[in-house]
């Protein structure tokens, strides 16, 4: 989407926006002054949008080093009376929990909005955590949009609510909403000229006093009561009642779309009552109660945990003790994974006894499995991480003999695909920065390990663990796969990139300088495209006592091509007269640009995919791969 469409101050104009873009637009319409984020799918495009338009709409945006810092930046602006927004993927909120808890207890001054982009079915995540639980634990009101239009409007409203009750407010989205596109009607952009001024009475220990700022639990509960009362008449919630329906349905956030689609497809619009629920915490009890009193059975449709369902179950004893409640808890809907209109339609048809006259979802899924196959995850053609892992693997084989003598602890990033064949040289990955931490525990009990971490992840969470390794004398080896950009989430910059999120030049903070400052004596930087030199560096690292690090630095191949447009590197070719069909290039390296011709029993390089890295040329034992020299 062009920046012009998102920044147009043309109320009523209809534009096509992605859900994440609509959230950014809603913040702009609300007069946001400061935005901060750390890239992570499915939230990344919110920050990407801000980075493109920040100067034009006079707001400050940054890619922070991690989500906790991003939250603190936004909270700092809020304490000075300006509206701010912080966005992240669901697991990023785990990183920010320390400051989240205190922000809700202390309260806010300028509106502070948290966007949590959750990921049902783990499309791009290690788990499908439902952050409504974290919101409840920290007394944060939750708004759940259903469409990009909702996302824009609810984001703008969230700032108003935040300032009204002096609490941070969460706008909780899911992957399908983050990345769907639909028409959005623009509102007026409100540019804030408010002067920033620290709220001394609200936040200063020396002015307000320690006791007043710390013991605020009673005040916090009173704020939530105000939010609950506000939500009772929230226009984004929509209750449809005729008064004689047996079945009621609650659709929370995006899930309401599945309800509408299923009800229309089944032709039962007049047979069900429903509530579109946009405020999932705190629950508007009287509004929900009106639905409970009317129906005999209730289906709760939500992503991904039975959060609303559990709260409705508690309400039912007061409003309708005989109510039959269905949802994710009793198996009417799957207990895990993303919903869709077919799953919801099956549940509704079963409850109403409606013949849907089609094959069941299970039958369709079985047929799909018979004709489809699971595509192997793989690194991009020319990815420097593949070369890094290949050279590291060769060094371990030479120094240790047995590849299983060393545990390779990976981290979060593209290189997490190093576990996939044919490289198959990564054993674990958990969360940002964990590679360095868990390697220390293994080394302490006598198990050799290598921490394999990316450049962005190193800045995010690797530095404290590296300091700990040096300080506590852990004998670990660290490989930093440095492709000079946060590639997995959209090629965002980081502290080593030399430019800020808003494109301003800045000082480059080099990983090797940080490592040396942390006390690591053995630090080498190599180009992974030069396999021989990379292997030698890894061999020296493995033979070094104590903490040792090799930084494998080469720009992400896709980012390199993006920056070269319209020029592309010259692709390599396989000489069919020299190729003996040994397949070593494919079975040990596995670049997706390498393919196999069955009829000829020869390897061939797909020119459309080849990035011209030249690594396969160095692997071929027959010297059958030809091309330009490695740059």
423-467 pLDDT, tens per residue? 999 999 899 989 999 999 999 999 999 999 999 999 999 999 999
Whether residues 511 and 610 fall in one domain: no
Q: Tens of pLDDT along 177-203?
A: 999 999 999 999 998 788 999 999 999
The CATH number of whichever domain residue 269 belongs to comes to 3.40.50.920
| Residue after which a domain boundary falls, among 174, 201, 232 | 232
SS3 call for 350: helix
Band of pLDDT at residue 363, cut at 50, 70 and 90? confident
> What single string gives the DSSP state of each residue in 587-609?
III--TTEEEETTTTEEEE-TTT
Give a yes or no: residue 379 inside a domain: no
Q: Does 88 lie in the same domain as 23?
A: yes
Does 442 map to a domain? yes
pTM over cut 0.75: yes
Name the residue among 249, 269, 186 with its Cα closest to residue 10. 186
Give the span between the Cα atoms of 132 and 150, in whole angstroms: 18
448 shares its domain with 484: yes
**117/48 Cα distance (integer angstroms):** 14
Non-local (6+) Cβ contacts of 577 within 8 A are: none
pLDDT tens digits, one per residue of 507-560: 999 999 999 999 999 999 999 999 999 999 999 999 999 999 999 999 999 898
Q: Is 453 a member of any domain?
A: yes
Per-residue burial over 236-265, b if 16 or more Cβ lie within 10 Å, else e, is: bbebeeeeebebbbbbbbbbbbbbbebbee
CATH number for the domain that contains residue 407: 3.40.50.970
CB atoms within 10 A of CB 562: 11
Domain edge (last residue) among 371, 402, 429: 371
Say yes or no: 476 and 557 in one domain.
yes
Domain limits for position 590: 573-626
Q: Which of 216, 232, 248 is the last residue of a domain?
A: 232
Checking if the pLDDT of 630 tops 50, the result is no
Asked if 10 and 142 touch (Cβ cutoff 8 Å), the reply is: no
What is each CA distance from 378 to 390, 566, 591, in whole angstroms? 14, 25, 8
The domain total for the chain is 4
From residue 333, how far is each of 178, 329, 352 by CA, in Å?
A: 23, 8, 15
Is there a single domain that holds both residue 224 and residue 350? Answer: no
423 in the same domain as 498: yes
Percent of the chain with pLDDT over 70: 97
User: In this structure, what are the phi and psi dihedrals at residue 254, rounded to the nearest 5 degrees?
Assistant: -55, -30
Contact 288/315 with Cβ under 8 angstroms? Answer: yes
- Tens of pLDDT, residue by residue over 216-274, are 899 999 999 999 999 999 999 999 998 788 999 999 999 999 999 999 999 999 899 99
């Amino acid at each position: 989407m062009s920046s012009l469409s998102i920044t147009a101050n043309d109320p009523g104009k209809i534009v096509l926006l992605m859900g994440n873009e609509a959230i950014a637009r809603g913040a702009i319409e609300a007069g946001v002054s400061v935005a901060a984020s750390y890239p992570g799918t499915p939230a990344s495009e919110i920050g990407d949008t801000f980075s493109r338009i920040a100067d034009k709409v006079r707001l400050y945006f940054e890619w922070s080093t991690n989500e906790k810092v991003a939250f603190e930046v936004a909270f700092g602006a809020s304490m000075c009376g300006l509206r701010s927004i912080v966005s992240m993927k669901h697991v990023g909120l785990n990183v920010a929990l320390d400051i989240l808890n205190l922000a809700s207890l202390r309260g806010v001054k300028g509106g502070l909005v948290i966007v949590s982009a959750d990921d049902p079915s783990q499309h791009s995540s290690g788990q499908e955590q439902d952050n409504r639980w974290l919101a409840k634990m920290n007394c944060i009101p939750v708004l759940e949009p259903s469409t990009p239009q909702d996302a824009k409007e609810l984001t703008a409203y969230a700032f108003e609510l935040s300032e009204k009750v002096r609490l941070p407010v969460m706008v909780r989205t899911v992957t399908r909403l983050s990345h769907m596109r639909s028409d959005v009607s623009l509102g007026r952009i409100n540019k804030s000229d408010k002067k920033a001024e620290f709220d001394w009475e609200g936040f200063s220990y020396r002015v307000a006093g320690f006791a007043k700022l710390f013991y605020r639990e009673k005040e916090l509960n009173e704020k939530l009561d105000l939010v609950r009362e506000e939500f009772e008449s929230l226009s984004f919630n929509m209750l449809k009642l005729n008064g004689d329906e047996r079945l009621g349905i609650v659709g929370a956030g995006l899930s309401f779309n599945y309800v509408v689609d299923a009800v229309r497809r089944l032709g039962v619009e007049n047979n069900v009552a429903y509530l579109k629920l946009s405020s999932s915490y705190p629950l508007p009890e009287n509004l929900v109660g009106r639905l409970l009193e009317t129906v005999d059975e209730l289906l709760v449709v939500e992503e991904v945990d039975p959060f609303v369902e559990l709260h409705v179950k508690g309400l039912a004893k007061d409003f309708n003790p005989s109510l039959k409640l269905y949802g994710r808890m009793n198996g009417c809907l799957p207990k895990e994974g993303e919903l869709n209109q077919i799953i919801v339609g099956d549940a509704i048809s079963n409850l109403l006894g409606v013949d849907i006259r089609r094959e069941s979802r299970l039958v369709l899924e079985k047929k799909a499995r018979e004709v489809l196959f699971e595509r192997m995850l793989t690194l991009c053609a020319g990815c420097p991480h593949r070369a890094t892992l290949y050279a590291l693997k060769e060094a371990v084989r030479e120094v240790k003999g047995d590849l299983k003598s060393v545990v390779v602890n990976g981290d979060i990033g593209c290189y997490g695909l190093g576990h996939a064949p044919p490289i198959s040289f990564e054993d674990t990955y958990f969360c940002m920065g964990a590679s360095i931490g868990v390697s220390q525990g293994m080394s302490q009990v006598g198990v050799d390990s290598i921490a394999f971490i990316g450049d962005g992840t190193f800045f995010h969470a690797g530095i404290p663990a590296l300091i700990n390794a040096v300080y506590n004398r852990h004998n670990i080896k660290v490989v930093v796969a440095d492709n000079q950009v946060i590639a997995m989430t959209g090629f965002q910059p980081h502290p080593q990139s030399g430019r800020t999120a808003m494109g301003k030049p800045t000082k480059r903070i080099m990983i090797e300088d940080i490592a040396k400052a942390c006390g690591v004596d053995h630090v080498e930087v190599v180009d992974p495209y030069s396999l021989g030199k990379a292997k030698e560096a890894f061999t020296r690292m493995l033979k070094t006592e104590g903490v040792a690090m090799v930084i494998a630095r080469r720009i992400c191949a896709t980012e390199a091509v993006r920056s070269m447009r319209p020029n592309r590197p010259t692709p390599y070719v396989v000489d069919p007269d020299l190729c003996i069909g040994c397949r070593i290039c494919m079975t040990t390296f596995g670049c997706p640009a390498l393919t196999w011709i069955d009829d000829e029993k020869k390897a061939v390089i797909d020119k459309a995919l080849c990035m011209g890295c030249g690594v396969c040329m160095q692997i071929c034992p027959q010297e059958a791969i030809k091309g330009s020299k490695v740059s």
